[in-house]
Amino acid sequence: MAISFASSKARPVPAAHRRNFNHLILDIAWFGVLNGSAVAFVAVYATRLGASAFQLGLLNAMPAVVNLLFALPAGRWLQARPISRATFYSSVAHRWFYLLWVFLPFFFGPTEQVWLLVLLTVLMSIPGTALAIGFNGMFAATVPPDWRAQVVGVRNAAYALTSIIVTLIAGRLLDAMPFPLGYQLVFLIGFAGAAMSSLHLWLVRPADEHRRPANGKSLGDWAQPGVMSMWQSLRMTVGLRFLMRQKPLESHWFSPLKDFSYRRVLLLVFAVHLALYLAVPLFPIYLVRELALNDQVIGLGNSIFYVALFLASARLDTVTRRLGNRRTMALGVLIISLYPALLSLADDAVLYLVASIMGGAGWALAGGAVGNFVLEKTPDDSRPSYLAWYNMSLQAGILLGALIAPVMAGWWGLTFGLAFAAVCRFLTGLAIWRTNE
């Protein structure tokens, strides 16, 4: 994947960027191994252990709570450190928790395992917050604006390709092996993918990481403290500091609150993630308990999702150039609304597999455009604080959506909850499409 990108005849990559672009692609390719194994099946595992809609909601909501609490402190911590190094260390601190998942069945019963999964998710989300913000900053420092759509598209394609392969393998393993041994092996595969992804983050070097300002002052004197499973899942240091002007922290950190145009960006980000997460905790319960699908069929649906993601990602650059980032994001959300709509009508695997096509195609557009939409609206001299507020906005949407979903299921049932989420997604996509720049 990295080689084909670097040698693209349509748009040759400058030699200065080729190494970093390749490592960014290999990073997400290995993350696809994690996504196609541990991330893709953890909610299904919890459901088979007997998790309720409320507990599955917590698996999605608690990381959002942690992100809201730690986003600003994480942004401040990141600004005092080299961007590539801090992002790498955050990834290691976050991802070693996947290894703990492997050993839970040896020591705990089903009920305890569900609550421990929630607890471990909370703990790993603390360094995960720094990783999310840091990677966004590192990506912005590494990839020039005119290359972002193409790099994101290729990253999405690499992510989809590895996710497809690993999800099919994982689904087959889970059907062939006794419970819970199959899940332990799948979680171990996920941890290996996470470790390799972190290795490639270590090898990314923003071009300006060791540059000093023209006047010779250390930016450390001024820039003191100071953002994907199929639904997840959309990363700042010295390199981040060099993206900032030499002004005191106070002139940057609260600027998003004074920037009225950026408030609308934050509102759109919040609305997108709220709409997307309204149904997320309901999906595994519906697939396992209502449709009674086995792990191999669920894995096949995930693979079809990533095939669609792969194919649509190849067109992301073209669609973005024609529609712009905002309308590309809106189109993606409109298509994604078909996933819960079709699933609510399903009584077997057929509509689930069709829905997976819509979900993958929509996510390639929405997930690929949302980050670039935010970056194009973010001033370079205040990027750390703006991205921290962006992270808090999307986490607030995730939190509210994940908490509302179990309530909807309790009031109206799973089918109506999915239909309601589909309507909310459609209306959100329509509103973003019609919003003025």
60 falls within a domain: yes
- Radius of gyration (C-alpha) of the chain in whole angstroms: 21
229 falls within a domain: no
Average pLDDT over residues 270-290: 87
> 78, 253 in Cβ contact below 8 A?
no
- CATH number of the domain that residue 144 is part of: 1.20.1250.20
- Name the residue with tokens 């084909």: 4
Q: Band the pLDDT of 11: cuts 50, 70, 90.
A: low
Domain enclosing residue 319, as ranges: 17-207+255-434
226 falls within a domain: no
Q: Band the pLDDT of 5: cuts 50, 70, 90.
A: very low
Residue 227 DSSP label: -
Whether the upstream peptide bond of residue 127 has omega within 30° of 0, thus cis, is no
What is the percentage of the chain residues whose pLDDT exceeds 70?
A: 82
2 falls within a domain: no
Both tokens of 360, joined, read: 């993958």
4 falls within a domain: no
164 falls within a domain: yes
Q: Is the predicted pLDDT of residue 434 greater than 70, yes or no?
A: yes
Cα distance between residue 343 and residue 422, in whole Å: 10
Residue 384, pLDDT score: 64
Residue 334, pLDDT score: 94
At 398, the amino acid letter reads I
Average pLDDT over residues 102-120: 95
At 365, the amino acid letter reads L
Provide the number of structural domains found in the chain: 1
Cα distance between residue 135 and residue 142, in whole Å: 10
Cα distance between residue 435 and residue 437, in whole Å: 7
Lowest mean pLDDT among 267-271, 340-344, 370-374: 370-374
Q: How far is CA 323 from the centre of its chain?
A: 23
> 338, 122 in Cβ contact below 8 A?
no
More confident residue, 2 or 387: 387
Closest to 66 in 3D by CA, of 115, 123, 118, 116: 123
More confident residue, 331 or 391: 331
- Encode pLDDT of 204-221 as tens digits: 887 665 433 333 322 222
SS3 52: coil
Q: Band the pLDDT of 96: cuts 50, 70, 90.
A: very high
Q: Band the pLDDT of 120: cuts 50, 70, 90.
A: very high
Q: Is the predicted pLDDT of residue 1 greater than 50, yes or no?
A: no
Q: Is the predicted pLDDT of residue 295 greater than 60, yes or no?
A: yes
249 falls within a domain: no
402 falls within a domain: yes
Q: Band the pLDDT of 241: cuts 50, 70, 90.
A: very low
Residue 380, pLDDT score: 66
Cα distance between residue 301 and residue 280, in whole Å: 15
Cα distance between residue 148 and residue 21, in whole Å: 10
Q: Is the predicted pLDDT of residue 246 greater than 60, yes or no?
A: no
Question: Which residues have C-beta within 8 Å of that of residue 375, sequence separation ≥ 6?
Answer: 136, 140, 145, 148
Residue 148, pLDDT score: 77
Q: Is 216 left (phi over 0), alpha (psi -120 to 50) or beta?
A: left
Lowest mean pLDDT among 172-181, 277-286, 346-355: 277-286
Residue 220, pLDDT score: 25
Cα distance between residue 167 and residue 273, in whole Å: 24
Q: Band the pLDDT of 173: cuts 50, 70, 90.
A: very high
Residue 182, pLDDT score: 94
